[in-house]
Structure 1
């Protein structure tokens, strides 16, 4: 299984995982490592469009 990073003009970058359970698991595992991301899944986003969202800044370069 893979993921897609969606291009945009915002500092908020969606990482498409497409699976609700996977998005929850990945968000929790990243949080354990000190990386704060949010998992989004149905009904917040359409079914099969689950994702995590990361917020990037100049500190990430």
Structure 2
């Protein structure tokens, strides 16, 4: 059965679109590892810590792991995530970004 693979693909598209609709720089694609491009290393570090406070485990990547100015938060979508989980993550990203960049 392709049930889990189909659900993973569905969840990945749902999360990418939700993040794009919220204004985040997220590439189109099918891969369940979804980088949320932020550019600024300090912002990526702070957001990663704040997201964890919201129950969202997402790792910040910045120089020297990625080029300077290309900092990002790496998310990994799973077939086990519910739409509610994904919505919670999108809301947490949005509120945390507004709080830290505002």
2:60 to 25, 33, 39: 39
What's the RMSD between the two structures over aligned residues? 1.4
Whichever structure has more strand as a proportion of its residues is 1
- Larger RCO (alpha carbons 8 Å, 6+ apart): 1
Whichever structure has more helix as a proportion of its residues is 2
Residues 15-56 of structure 1: CA deviation (Å, up to 9, x unaligned):
000000000000000001110000000000000000001111
1:29 to 50, 57, 60: 50
Number of the residue aligned with 1:17:
38
Which stretches in structure 1 are left out of the alignment for 5+ residues?
A: none
How many aligned positions are there? 60
TM-score by length of 1: 0.87
Number of the residue aligned with 1:6:
27
Which stretches in structure 2 are left out of the alignment for 5+ residues?
A: 1-22, 84-102
Are the aligned partners of 1:39 and 1:52 in contact in 2 as well (CA < 8 Å)?
A: yes
